[in-house]
């Protein structure tokens, strides 16, 4: 049966069940199966009496990161925090995403191919008035219904023209970051228009966006009520154009002669440090052992100026996608 279609429920005429109900009943069934089949049951107890495990989830997405542009893939760009996660965790060596920002993020949020709701062909431009259709039941909504606190930090890029498309209205208890696809990393603006929000309110704030994202994500963990599981979606804008970074990070890569490559490497280093702060916050709160951390890029590094975004780029594009 196509998941887009309603399914008959019971024998009553016209009795139908929505896709949302199908997904919720499937999630409930999976939770019970996990509790019974994996965690086991106390002797003499019914399987249904064992509550399903609910780990914290920290889901981290980089923006236009080249496959080889991390240390654990052999890069000269140092990423010690990501390298440690890769060393101690599971590496998915055949992992596939959509080729551009919006389609990948839409697929992640819906669990469905973007062609099903018209977001398969490209990104939502700054002038775009559309977003993920409002009848889609998104991952944060499902996790809210499962008892999670849901927080988003970073880049949304799934609809910005009206508040109905924004993260707070799509299942996130809190949102901090940018709505559109590309912003000036210091000015927090797109085409001269400020794009920086806390929840539904515009925010005036100084600082490099990716540094602020890492700090905000760590604060979210530090202030989290441990009585509920946490879903934190951390979507960096690094190393998406424009290629900008704080001076202290540029100085880390002073031996790289190409200016674009130097800034690109510095942006990745900022992101890596932010991830380190997140892991440290989890450890400080005693949450690390019960937290699933996922990291990947929304797509590979951009090698054609046609897809480099709104910024004018002089010189070569610096990403390295490997063999």
Q: Residue 112, CB half-sphere, CA atoms under 13 Å: how many?
A: 19
**The one catalytic residue among 81, 101, 185, 224:** 101
How large is the average pLDDT for residues 49-58? 80
Tokens matching residue 194:
């400020």
Mean pLDDT of the chain: 87
What is the structure's pLDDT at 307?
79
What is the structure's pLDDT at 233?
98
pLDDT for 35 beyond 70: no
Model confidence at 18, pLDDT cuts 50, 70, 90, reads low
How large is the average pLDDT for residues 277-281? 98
pLDDT for 34 beyond 60: no
Number of H helices, E strands in the chain: 7, 11
How large is the average pLDDT for residues 179-208? 96
**The one catalytic residue among 81, 157, 224, 240:** 157
How far is 33 from 77, CA to CA, in rounded Å?
43
Model confidence at 270, pLDDT cuts 50, 70, 90, reads very high
What is the structure's pLDDT at 27?
47
Percent of the chain whose predicted confidence (pLDDT) is above 70: 84
Strand pairing of 197-198 and 193-194?
Answer: unpaired
Model confidence at 74, pLDDT cuts 50, 70, 90, reads very high
End-to-end CA distance of the chain: 40
DSSP string, 162-175: SGGGSGGGTT-SEE
Model confidence at 140, pLDDT cuts 50, 70, 90, reads very high
pLDDT for 64 beyond 50: yes
Whether 157 is catalytic = yes
- Encode pLDDT of 113-123 as tens digits: 999 999 998 99
Strand pairing of 7-8 and 201-202?
Answer: unpaired
DSSP string, 276-307: HHHHHHHHHTT-GGGEEEEEEESS----SGGG
Query: In this predicted model, which residue has the larger pLDDT, 310 or 182?
Result: 182
What is the structure's pLDDT at 43?
42
């Amino acid at each position: 049966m196509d998941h887009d279609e309603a399914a008959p429920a019971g024998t009553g005429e016209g009795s139908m069940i929505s896709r949302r109900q199908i997904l919720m009943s499937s999630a409930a069934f999976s939770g019970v199966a996990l509790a019974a089949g994996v965690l086991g049951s106390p002797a003499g107890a019914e399987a249904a009496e064992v509550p399903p495990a609910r780990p914290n989830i920290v889901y981290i997405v980089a923006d236009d990161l080249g496959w080889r542009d991390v240390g654990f893939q052999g890069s000269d760009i140092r990423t010690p925090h990501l390298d440690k996660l890769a060393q101690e965790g599971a590496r998915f060596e055949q992992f596939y995403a959509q080729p551009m920002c919006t389609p990948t993020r839409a697929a992640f949020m819906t669990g469905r191919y973007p062609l099903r709701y018209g977001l398969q062909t490209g990104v939502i431009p700054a002038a775009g008035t559309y977003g993920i259709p409002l009848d889609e039941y998104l991952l944060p909504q499902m996790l809210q219904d499962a008892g999670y606190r849901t927080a988003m930090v970073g880049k949304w890029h799934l609809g910005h023209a009206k508040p109905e498309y924004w993260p707070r209205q799509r299942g996130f208890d809190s949102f901090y970051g940018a709505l559109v696809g590309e912003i000036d990393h210091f000015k927090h603006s797109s085409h001269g228009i400020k794009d920086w929000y806390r929840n539904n309110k515009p925010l005036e704030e100084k600082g490099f966006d990716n540094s602020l994202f890492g700090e905000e994500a760590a604060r979210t963990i530090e202030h989290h009520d441990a009585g509920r599981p946490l879903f934190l979606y951390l979507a960096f804008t690094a190393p998406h154009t424009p290629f900008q970074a704080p001076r202290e990070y540029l100085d880390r890569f002073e031996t790289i002669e190409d200016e674009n490559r130097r800034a690109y490497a510095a942006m990745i280093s900022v992101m890596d440090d932010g991830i380190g702060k997140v892991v440290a916050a989890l450890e400080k709160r005693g949450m690390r052992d019960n937290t699933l951390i996922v990291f990947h890029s929304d797509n590979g590094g951009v090698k054609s100026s046609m897809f480099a975004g709104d910024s004018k780029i002089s010189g070569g594009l610096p990403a390295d996608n490997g063999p």
